Copies of this chain bind each other. A is one copy, B any other.
Amino acid sequence: MLNEIKIRKSGGTLMAKSIWGILRGLESFSQLIIFEKYCLTFVIRCTSITDYPKFRHRGLLLDTSRHYLPVQTIISMLDAMSYSKLNVFHWHIIDDNSFPYQSKAFPSLSDKGAYGQSAIYSTNDIKLVIEHARQRGIRVIPEIDSPGHTLSWGLGGIPGLLTQCSDTDPNYFGPIDPTVDENYSFIKTLLTEVNELFRDQYLHLGGDEVNMNCWNNSKKLQTFMTLNNISNVEGLEDYYFKHIFNITRELKTVPIVWEELFSDNIHLDHNVVVQIWKPNNFSSLVQEVIDSGYAVLISSCWYLNYIKYGSDWSSFYNCDLSDIVDRNNLLLGGEACVWGEFVDETNVLPLSWPRASAVAEVLWSQVTNYTEARLRLEEHTCRMKRRGVPAQPANGPGFCTY
């Protein structure tokens, strides 16, 4: 994993044991070059750098369901990610609000569930994103969040897909109905297709914020639970994910799930990765998951969509992971999350940059001293602006000379 850069008067060398190391080294190399304003030329200092990332999973989540993001915006985000050596684009592509993923097997899902014909990601769009990411050493992990966060799926005409939460209100729908066998073959087809398209080792299954009230209120589900000796709705969730993990096992993919599955004591396959997102006492949950033998991703500290006035990026350095005991390297890394409630193509770039670069640095080097980071981040902001990323001011008044 060690990468090495040496710049001498006689020339420079870049050594790495993988193509990914070479890519990160080239990024570092490009950042060593500065414009010398008195000589009006580009210069590089003689230097020697040995470097490697602390965490192998350095991600950014984009939510394209609450607001659709144009492909060009995603491409710009990928460019910016590579400038900060982030290597995972977690594509939260669908959710309650809209279904922009165009399925070949079930085109009605996006035809009916997307915000409109101009708010759909075609197979070609997705391939373009994946290829653009790949060339920058970024893997693209799709999230097919279920059984909750699926209201938009319900528009696609799959009969019996969503739970009817109420016997009196036929339009009150909840999570996917776990008692309908056909739902599992539908999901299998969908996940298989998604897996073939994205071709990544990982597949994010979601699993957060399941509306248990709905399942509790449904007479049909309560009857099913009695017949099948399931004592509570967490048991129903377990039943649901037993089927889902059967699918991911067949697909030979590594499932990622949100923390609720661990907290709800759902039976997890041994290779499941648990993503922690709630902010309170997250580090003790991280430890618990690791102690149970599961791999972990952390997002708790890095919800970029929660904006604050001023240099709020400094708080992203306050994600102290130093107390975590991780003998088997189960802490894979983490992800900055840009949830889309108040984010669309008009503001996602300045909102995310340079704030996500702070997260990227923590994931690369586990530094916690944000006082020292201040000037680095300012310089990096100007670098991003030079490269066409509209990165907003990090530290108050100033000006980028270029």
Which residues of A come within 8 Å of B, CB atoms?
65-68, 97-98, 115-116, 119, 305-311, 340-347, 349-351, 385, 390-393, 396-399, 401
Interchain CB contact under 8 A, B310 and A342: yes
Query: Given the complex of chains A and B, what is the CA–CA distance between A401 and B67 in angstroms?
Result: 12
Can you spell out 20 A-B residue pairs with CB atoms less than 8 angstroms apart? A66-B397, A67-B393, A67-B399, A68-B399, A98-B397, A116-B401, A307-B307, A307-B308, A308-B309, A311-B342, A341-B393, A341-B396, A346-B349, A346-B391, A346-B392, A346-B393, A347-B347, A347-B351, A347-B390, A347-B392
Q: Which of A307, A347, A399 has the most CB of B within 10 A?
A: A399
Which residue in chain B gives the minimum CB-CB distance to A119?
Answer: B399
* Chain A interface helix/strand/loop/mixed: loop
Interchain CB contact under 8 A, A342 and B399: no
Given A98-B399, A310-B342, A347-B390, 8 extra CB contacts under 8 A = A66-B397, A67-B398, A306-B309, A308-B309, A340-B397, A341-B397, A346-B349, A347-B392
CB-CB under 8 A from A385, the residues of chain B are 346
Interchain CB contact under 8 A, A399 and B309: no
Interchain CB contact under 8 A, A342 and B66: no
Query: Given the complex of chains A and B, what is the CA–CA distance between A67 and B385 in angstroms?
Result: 14
Query: Given the complex of chains A and B, what is the CA–CA distance between A279 and B318 in angstroms?
Result: 31
Which residue in chain B gives the minimum CB-CB distance to A305?
Answer: B309
CB-CB under 8 A from A349, the residues of chain B are 346
Q: Which of A68, A344, A390 has the most CB of B within 10 A?
A: A344
CB-CB under 8 A from A346, the residues of chain B are 349-350, 385, 390-393
In the complex, which of the residues B116, B307, B308, B351 contacts A399, with contact meaning CB atoms closer than 8 Å?
Answer: B116
CB-CB under 8 A from A308, the residues of chain B are 307-309
Interchain CB contact under 8 A, B342 and A392: yes
Task: Give the shortest distance, in Å, between A100 (CB) and chain B (any CB).
Answer: 10
Task: Give the shortest distance, in Å, between A95 (CB) and chain B (any CB).
Answer: 9
Task: Give the shortest distance, in Å, between A400 (CB) and chain B (any CB).
Answer: 9
Closest 8 CB pairs of A and B: A115-B399, A346-B390, A66-B397, A347-B350, A97-B397, A347-B392, A346-B350, A341-B396
Task: Give the shortest distance, in Å, between A144 (CB) and chain B (any CB).
Answer: 19
Interchain CB contact under 8 A, A393 and B307: no
Task: Give the shortest distance, in Å, between A59 (CB) and chain B (any CB).
Answer: 22
